[in-house]
Amino acid sequence: MSEQQTTGSLLLIDWRDKLTIGLINLAVWLAGYFPLNALQSRAEHYYDIPLTPLDALPLLPWTILIYGTSVYNNALGLFLLPSKRAAWRYLGALLCAYTINFAFFFLLPTTIISLREEVAAVVPEMSSMWRWQFELTHNADGPYNCFPSLHITNCVVVALAHWRSRWRYWMLGWAVLIAFSTLPTKQHFFYDIPGGIFVGVIGTLIAGRIWGAPLGPTAEADESSDDQRPVVG
């Protein structure tokens, strides 16, 4: 097999692995998040989250654009990982974090009904550019499963997966912007953010114990070379 054919085959294998990992991630998230959201809608008691001055930030409709990029953050974070081993470790970190998040959602139900009502009162007055995005978010995502923030957990796992890669500053900056956007969109209370950070870090540490620590510059090159060993045939 020629060098060009070998490289093409390896890229195809890498693409297929990452697609598989992405689908597993999506399936687990869908299987846990939405059923728990529906379950919490029937809860008789919700735990109160202490308020902070940051929870008084005004509604900034344009920040819904940043908030909505969390989906792309997760997908791009997976796509940019340099090897199959790193991608599977990333999935392991997400699954560990999901387990913790879902346990909190089930055992300590919280809600942002008060914030959602505040936003719903002004959504009809927004420009069409912002109104449809808030309506889409509110229709797709009930005001439950708040603490710890799963949006923040995902962003932290992505940032840590790239902690020593060339993309670290981009992913870290992106995570900070998404974390900020959860407040002026009224999608979360402030304490949901450190809760999500904590879970993301713990999930990454657990995955690191099983599959190895997040990549460093040398490890990244080594893993890439391991994945690109000549294919016999």
pLDDT tens, residue by residue, 51-63: 999 999 999 999 9
Is 60 domain-assigned?
yes
Q: What is the DSSP letter of 47?
A: P
Model pLDDT, residue 159: 95
Question: Does residue 233 lie in a domain region?
Answer: no
The answer to whether residue 186 is domain-embedded is yes
- pLDDT tens string 61-84: 999 999 999 989 999 999 988 888
Q: Mean of the pLDDT values across residues 146-173? A: 93
CA 209 to chain centre: 21
Measure the CA–CA gap between 135 and 178, rounded to whole angstroms: 19
How confident is the model at residue 222, as a pLDDT?
41
Residue 232 lies in a domain: no
Kindly state whether residue 164 falls inside one of the protein's structural domains: yes
The CA-to-CA distance between both ends of the chain, in Å, stands at: 6
Contact between 203 and 97 (Cβ < 8 Å): yes
Using one digit for the tens of pLDDT, what is the confidence trace for 116-154? 888 888 888 888 888 888 988 888 888 888 999 999 999
Residue 64's contacts (CB-CB under 8 Å, 6 or more residues apart) are 130, 133, 134, 137, 181, 185
Name the pLDDT band for 43 (thresholds 50, 70, 90).
confident
Of 49, 40, 69, 51, the residue nearest 137 (C-alpha): 69
Flag whether 86 is in a domain: yes
Number of domains comprising the chain: 1
pLDDT of 19 higher than 80: yes
Domain that holds residue 90: 3-227
This prediction has a pTM of: 0.84
- The answer to whether position 65 is within a domain reads yes
Q: What secondary structure letter does DSSP report for 163?
A: T
């999608």: which residue's tokens?
187
Span 171-229, pLDDT tens digits: 999 999 999 999 999 999 999 999 999 999 999 999 888 876 654 443 444 444 444 44
